[in-house]
Amino acid sequence: MTRKAEFVVGLEPERYELHSPLSVIFESDRRDFFKFLGTGIFIACASSKTAAFQESGRRGGSEENLPREIDAWLHIGENGEITALTGKVEVGQNIRTSLSQAVAEELCVPIESVRLVMGDTQLVPFDMGTFGSRTTPVMNLQLRRVSAAARDELIGIAAKHWNADPGQLTATNGKIIDPKTNRSASYSELVRGKQMTQLLPAEDPLIPAAQWKIAGQAVSKVDGRDFVTGKHRYPSDCTLPNMLYGKVVRPISFGATLTSADTRAAEQMLGVTVVRDGDFLAVAAPTSALAEKAATAIKAEWKSQPQISNKELFEFLKKNPTPDEERNSGHETGNIEKAFTESAERLNSTFNIAYIAHAPLEPRAALAQWNDGQLTVWTGTQRPFGVRSELATAFHLPEEKVRVLMPDMGSGYGGKHTAETALEAARLARAAKRPVKVVWTREEEFTWAYFRPAGVIDVTSSVSPDGKINAWEFHNYNSGGAGIRTYYDIPNQRIQFHPVNSPLRQGSYRALAATANHFAREVHMDEIAASLKMDPLEFRLKNLKEERLRAVFEQGGKQFGWDKPRPANRGFGVGGGYEKLGYMATFAEVTLKPETRELRIERVLTAFDCGAIVNPDGLRNQLIGANVMGLGGAIFEAIEFENGRIVNNVFSKYRVPRFRDVPAGMDVLLIDRKDQPSVGAGEAPILGIAPAIANAIFALTQIPLHSLPMGPTLASRGYKLV
Amino acid sequence: MPTKYSLKINGQSFSVGADPETRLLWVLREQLDLTGTKYGCGEGQCGACTVLIDGRAQRSCMTPVSAVFSKSITTIEGLAKGDQLHPVQQAFLDEGAMQCAYCTSGMIMSAVSLLNNREKPSEAEILQFMQGNICRCGTYPRIVAAIRKASAAGRELVR
């Protein structure tokens, strides 16, 4: 096996929320694309044999119903409008723009003529969801292939029309041109009056990245104007005539069951509908103020169980791994026992990782409407088809009776995979016989969503005196298996993930457990280097063969000035790795004021290689944003809980990064590999900031920082990070 | 019984009925369908709901409707003059100062308020003034760049 193959670790399933049972279970037809988009040409797929189709495209199912379930990806209308259809959704990662660039590039049209329909389950091909940094490696490629096929089809139509050789014709700026005769025809002329569906050929020649004109350029957000004018409607902004506002009466703690509810006062309020269905207790009213009033008027009794608090968390996680063969696969190379026995010394560190909240600025929201047994829901989710499936199950409906639409939302960061508000709004709407909107409050979002898993990580290593690591043992309790494997060249390894029945509901978070695993690995690397009195960057490179990962460390280090002399009270740190197909190294400079013990992060640089860059401006935005968001989890974010309640469930108690938390110098180094496939950038860039800061502080103070967040440890040692 | 209020919003008069304690945010969003002003926290901690009251940034989630009926209210929808964006809106667009953009309305309204009072704010003044607005996507450096750009482009006061 080549090193390369070993390096490509598959997409980690987003385990937690997909395995968790539905929170509540309560007691279409052929898609007519032409009706929706008018006459023209559709480019469609009827093959499920490519990798893309396992997560996007037609779901499993039998081959015989293929013609009926053809998935249309692209439409060229006789008005010249080009519409691409995708199940991926826009949550701020800017794919509406980058996917439009892909279509415009291959179809040779201005980007302004491309429109994307995203995340509407009735119109777009099936898609598992927008997570795992899959949009760029999979969907961008898919839409490029579809657009290239459309370009060829248009050339074919023109060639037939002019009785010309298709090989001689070219596509430019929305026209097919015959350079010999100077004849030209616009796409809209070519498709006029046609109502045809062209199946995507197996392979199409794509325009190589080195020749890109629209892809590869810094294109600004395609519909940016709608956002600066307040015109864009987020899920929580959606309305329907006669709509009611829903409000759920929440249990007093996690897992509490409803024993009694006196709903009489609420029911007497004008226009109020009360629903009690099992433990689900909620109201709908013509205004949110009245819904609030009615919910407060309900006297509910709940039965709850004593539960652990964050003070006992790490001990609990370490002591309660659940044996689970399927989810517990480890990795072993060489002979770890022998290697440890033969080495003079071993180094051990234990890391604690807190639960943190995604806290997307737009809380969960859904608007639901029933019409003749058909359910339509507008909601903020990263998995429209997953939400459709949850709704179908909860309401005992076939999936064709459920349509989910996802207007570009106020972000998710992995936190909006589930259907909570969709279920709540739909249940209330069924009872009220009117559309109902449910928007969670900030407190609800902090409490009833799910968290990034907490974890405990044990690392043990031994190293030869010349700086080669010979043994590496790594155990992760609960936080997850993403990014758990080491990319350093180590002959003897044992790496194991130990699932735990988490005390809090947990799920995906930007980059999953790779953040925790990279933190532990990269901080431990500096501790080994320190034990050898070796430079941490030199030590990494000595143990690293992978060429693209070496490149981000080396080129990033050069731009950062790693080798330049460092004045007193100035520490450098680095943390890097490979995740979601991207190569990343982040460097940080921290200064110390000895008299006040104040530490300050002066500057941060992230070097990143995600193959051929589709949109350098969007990429820069992602890299800086990931580092800023990562600062929170690195330094101060942590969920506090007690007895099934979240203690810090508002922004005044749960601190997130703000303007003044951003270091003065935030820089990026983009390594544009036009010879490599384009991959995602929404997740991997968040991984380096925590270890880079911890290592810079370690270099300055010799304090090992083994917890995320690291602020409390620093405070206990008398330091303040400002 | 709700009280009747006449509100002056974006230069127009609106008649609404609401309890005196009802927050302006919900009157804007639910009664007037001005959904550009966002809910983010309900405790004045995130800035997503920022509007201008007589030209000054105020958190509409904390503002009772009874406190503003005689004042001039500006929301994100009222900032552009026809097709002509306000310089702060244009600068946010030019700098790409957004990701999911849910915070953008509040950021822009806060920035307009800052520039109403300080023609050329220093970096420290920008950070200080904007500290109450959260961008969870972390686009702060671009927002600062946009405010500097708008400040350099020249003032357009909003009262």
Question: What pLDDT sits at residue A11?
Answer: 43
- What's residue A344's pLDDT? 83
pLDDT recorded at residue A68 = 34
d(CA A377, CA A375): 7
- A685 within some domain: yes
pLDDT at A611 over 60: yes
Residue A55: both structure tokens together: 């997560």
Element (H, E) at A592: strand A582-593
A590 reaches B (C-beta below 8 A)? no
Q: Does residue A53 register a pLDDT over 60? A: no
Predicted local distance difference test score (pLDDT) of residue B89: 98
pLDDT band, very low/low/confident/very high, at A49 (cuts 50, 70, 90) = very low
Q: What is the pLDDT of residues B49-103, one digit of tens each?
A: 999 999 999 999 999 999 998 899 999 999 999 999 999 999 999 999 999 999 9
Quote the strand ranges of A445-501, DSSP E. Answer: 455-463, 469-477, 492-498
What is the predicted pLDDT for the residue at A200? Answer: 76
Confidence of residue A61 (pLDDT cuts 50, 70, 90): very low
The model's pLDDT over A261-302, given as tens digits with 9 standing for 90+, comes to: 999 999 999 999 999 999 999 999 999 999 999 999 999 999
| Closest CA of chain A from B45, distance in Å | 6
Q: How many domains does chain A have?
A: 3
pLDDT tens digits, A626-685: 999 999 999 999 999 999 999 999 999 999 999 999 999 999 999 999 999 999 999 999
Second CATH level (architecture) for the domain B3-78: Roll (3.10)
Smallest Cα–Cα separation from A658: which of A292, A359, A306?
A: A359
Task: Say whether residue A83 is in contact with chain B using an 8 A CB cutoff.
Answer: no
In a domain, A643, yes or no: yes
Interval A451-464: pLDDT, tens: 999 999 999 999 99
What is the C-alpha to C-alpha distance for residues A59 and A57, in angstroms, rounded to an integer? 6
- Say if residue A587 is exposed, middle or buried (CB neighbours under 10 Å; 0-12, 13-18, 19+): buried
- One domain for residues A269 and A386: yes
- Which of chain B's residues have a Cβ under 8 Å away from the Cβ of A658? 131-134, 140
A722 touches chain B (CB under 8 A): no
CATH superfamily of B87-153: [2Fe-2S]-binding domain (1.10.150.120)
Identify all chain B residues contacting A130, using CB atoms and an 8 Å cutoff.
none
Q: Could you tell me the pTM of the whole model?
A: 0.94
- Decide: helix, strand or coil at residue A475: strand
Domain that holds residue A674: 320-355+451-721
More confident residue, A78 or B108: B108
- Report the pLDDT value the prediction gives residue A41, as an integer from 0 to 100: 82
A12 pLDDT exceeds 50? no
User: From the list B41, B130, B141, which residue is nearest A624 (CB)?
Assistant: B141
Q: Is residue A569 scored above 90 in pLDDT?
A: yes
User: Same domain for A197 and A330?
Assistant: no
Instruction: Sort out which chain A residues have CB atoms less than 8 A from B105's CB and list them.
Output: 230
Give Rg (Cα) of chain A. 27
For residue A632, give the amino acid letter: G
Residues A217 and A289 grouped into a single domain: no
Tens-digit pLDDT profile for residues A344-358: 889 999 999 999 999
Q: Are residues A332 and A293 in the same domain?
A: no
A617 contacts B43? CB cut-off 8 A:
no
Amino acid at A617: D
Extract the tokens encoding A616. Answer: 């350098």
Question: Does the residue A32 lie in any domain?
Answer: no
Whether residue A5 has pLDDT greater than 50:
no
Residues A580 and A616 in one domain: yes
Work out the pLDDT band at A202, boundaries 50, 70, 90. low
> Which of A193, A227, A261 is the C-terminal boundary of a domain?
A227
**Would you say residue A2 has pLDDT above 70?**
no
In a domain, A311, yes or no: no
Q: How far is residue A5 from each of residues A51, A328, A376, A454, A627, measured CA to CA in Å?
A: 17, 22, 44, 30, 29
Give CA–CA dist A468/A462, Å, rounded: 9
SS3 A45: strand
Residues 261-300 of A with CB under 8 A from B: 287-289
User: What is residue A64's predicted lDDT score, i.e. its pLDDT?
Assistant: 33
Considering the domain architecture, whether residues A292 and A239 belong to the same structural domain is answered as yes
Considering only CB atoms, B76 lies closest to which of A93, A230, A233, namely A230
